[in-house]
């Protein structure tokens, strides 16, 4: 009988946490029996299609007193169907406590997916405290965060660095053509700069708009894929900067790889970023990248080899590097080739799956 792994997520939105968990579930489904406990959310449909046991619980930030007993009951129901051999908790350290309450000594693996905002340091400290008490193993998705957790006192014997991995996409050319028509993009006559991110402050998109406004060429287009709280204000800013006719906001797209295929240059101007999953997706399509010197982005991109690394909150620096790439096709081609090779060596889905499976098996032996 296959070992039984339970995944627990604190939400099912449309971000990197969910993408990485989905990749693990899909990629490891032939090795383990996998079950899922997670609240409903915008990202739920892609999980609900999976042929696995699933239960829901109410998000704790919506109703803790309803969500806690639902989570414990869900764990026990799934465990009754087939004994759980390991629990993999994603993103929310506090979820490890009810796991221990419900399952006792069953091994727990916890993945830290990064914290943002003014309370980030406190969240990292709490994550270390919960992990030291309740986790058997902890996964950090980048070296910068690994060092941060180590500095906050996480037991290094539990700490593991496993970069997020992405599949090399099977591209639908017709879908890319459809998206180009939909958003009035012409890859033959335009140079298309693109990004994909939640439209919130942590992604630094206001600085990307300011940088793009310094690039006067009429054949340039900037594509911003994603949704979020700042959508209205970012659109207004593009109007105020006089670039709204060259900036396209696509909203959230289910088929992001088909859009990335249209990009000549990928840009991620984040102010905080543990691991840029979308950056790895761009590298898997041989796109030259420009990112900021924050978190794991500076580990993904090798400056002047696979792309450029610029200072955060610095539209002048960003504009200079973008202009250099726009003007030099050979440089773009070199960065593209080197970036794809680095993706294969470091950030492929296969590497992530193998390292995660090794950690699961180690945890279940001890």
Are 196 and 158 part of one and the same domain? no
| Tens-place pLDDT, residues 289-316 | 999 999 999 999 999 999 999 999 999 9
**Token duo for residue 292:** 């900021």
> Is the pLDDT assigned to residue 264 strictly greater than 90?
yes
Higher model confidence: residue 365 or residue 263? 263
Residue matched to tokens 């992530």: 352
Are 68 and 137 part of one and the same domain? yes
Residues 330-358 have a mean pLDDT of 97
CA distance 296 to 277: 10
**Token duo for residue 111:** 């993945």
Are 274 and 291 part of one and the same domain? yes
Residues 118-142 have a mean pLDDT of 95
Spell out a b/e string for 155-182, using b for 16 or more CB atoms within 10 Å of the CB, else e. Answer: eeebbbebbbbbeeeeeeeeebeebbee
Q: What is the pLDDT of residue 278?
A: 94
CB 258 within 8 A of CB 282: no
CATH number at residue 90: 3.40.50.2000
Are 154 and 261 part of one and the same domain? no
Residues 264-285 have a mean pLDDT of 95
Alpha-helix residue ranges (DSSP H) falling in 213-328: 231-240, 256-260, 277-284, 297-300, 315-327
Say how many Å lie between the first and final Cα of the chain, rounded. Answer: 19
Are 251 and 154 part of one and the same domain? no
Are 16 and 159 part of one and the same domain? yes
Are 247 and 361 part of one and the same domain? no
Of 35, 12, 164, 52, which Cα lies nearest the Cα of 106?
A: 35
Q: Write the DSSP string, 9-63.
A: -S---SSHHHHHHHHHHHHHTTTSEEEEE----TTHHHHHTSSSEEE----HHHH
DSSP state of 287: -
| Tens-place pLDDT, residues 185-221 | 999 999 999 999 999 999 999 999 999 999 989 999 9
Give the domain range for residue 204: 173-346
**Non-local CB neighbours of 90 within 8 Å, separated by 6+ positions:** 7, 8, 9, 10, 17, 20, 21, 110, 111, 113
**Non-local CB neighbours of 328 within 8 Å, separated by 6+ positions:** none
Q: Would you tell me the crossing angle of helices 329-346 and 315-327 to the nearest 10 degrees?
A: 110
Query: How far is residue 132 from each of residues 84, 97, 137, 167, 240, measured CA to CA in Å?
Result: 22, 12, 9, 32, 50
Give the whole-number percent of the chain exceeding pLDDT 70.
100
Are 9 and 158 part of one and the same domain? yes
Q: What is the pLDDT of residue 116?
A: 80
> Is the pLDDT assigned to residue 20 strictly greater than 80?
yes
Query: How far is residue 343 from each of residues 165, 166, 274, measured CA to CA in Å?
Result: 9, 9, 17
> Is the pLDDT assigned to residue 242 strictly greater than 90?
yes
CB 301 within 8 A of CB 325: no
**Non-local CB neighbours of 155 within 8 Å, separated by 6+ positions:** 131, 132
Q: What is the pTM of this model?
A: 0.92
What is the count of structural domains for the chain?
2
Are 153 and 242 part of one and the same domain? no
> Is the pLDDT assigned to residue 366 strictly greater than 80?
no
pLDDT confidence tier of residue 41, bands split at 50, 70 and 90: very high
Ramachandran category for residue 280: left, alpha or beta (phi over 0 → left; psi -120 to 50 → alpha): alpha
Residues 337-341 have a mean pLDDT of 97
pLDDT confidence tier of residue 15, bands split at 50, 70 and 90: confident
CB 88 within 8 A of CB 352: no
CA distance 38 to 65: 16
Are 10 and 20 part of one and the same domain? yes
User: For the chain, what is the total number of helices (H) and then of strands (E)?
Assistant: 15, 13
Are 182 and 325 part of one and the same domain? yes
Residue matched to tokens 């993706």: 343
| Tens-place pLDDT, residues 69-126 | 999 999 999 999 999 999 999 999 999 999 999 999 999 999 999 888 778 899 999 9
Are 49 and 156 part of one and the same domain? yes
Average pLDDT of the chain, as a whole number: 95
């Amino acid at each position: 009988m296959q070992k039984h792994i339970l995944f627990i997520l604190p939400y099912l939105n449309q971000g990197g946490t969910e993408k990485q968990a989905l990749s693990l579930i899909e990629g490891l489904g032939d090795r383990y029996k996998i079950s899922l406990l997670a609240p409903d959310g915008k990202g739920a449909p892609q999980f609900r299609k999976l042929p696995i046991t699933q239960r829901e619980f109410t998000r704790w930030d919506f109703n803790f007193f309803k969500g806690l007993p639902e989570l414990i009951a869900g764990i026990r129901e799934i465990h009754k169907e087939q004994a759980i051999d390991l629990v993999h908790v994603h993103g929310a350290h506090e979820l490890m406590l009810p796991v221990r309450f419900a399952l006792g000594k069953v091994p727990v693996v916890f993945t830290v997916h990064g914290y943002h905002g003014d309370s980030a340091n406190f969240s990292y400290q709490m994550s270390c405290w919960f992990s030291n008490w309740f986790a058997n193993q902890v996964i950090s998705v980048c070296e910068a965060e690994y060092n941060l957790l180590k500095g906050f006192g996480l037991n290094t014997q539990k700490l593991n660095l496993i970069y997020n991995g992405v599949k090399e996409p099977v591209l639908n050319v017709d879908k890319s053509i459809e998206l180009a028509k939909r958003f009035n993009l012409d890859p033959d006559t335009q140079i298309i700069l693109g990004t994909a991110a939640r439209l919130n402050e942590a992604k630094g998109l206001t600085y990307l708009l300011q940088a793009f406004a310094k690039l006067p060429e009429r054949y340039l287009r900037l594509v911003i894929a994603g949704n979020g709280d700042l959508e209205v204000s970012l659109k207004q800013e593009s109007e105020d900067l006089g670039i709204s006719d060259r900036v396209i906001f696509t909203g959230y797209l289910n088929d992001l790889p088909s859009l990335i295929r249209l990009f000549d240059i990928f840009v991620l101007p984040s102010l905080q970023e543990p691991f840029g999953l979308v950056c790895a997706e761009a590298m898997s399509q041989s796109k030259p990248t420009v990112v900021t010197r924050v978190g794991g982005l500076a580990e993904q991109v090798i400056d002047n080899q696979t792309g450029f690394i610029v200072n955060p909150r610095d539209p002048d620096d960003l504009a200079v590097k973008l202009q250099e790439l726009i003007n030099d096709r050979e440089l773009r081609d070199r960065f593209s080739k080197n970036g794809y090779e680095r993706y294969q060596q470091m950030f492929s889905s296969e590497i992530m799956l193998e390292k995660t499976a090794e950690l699961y098996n180690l945890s279940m032996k001890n």
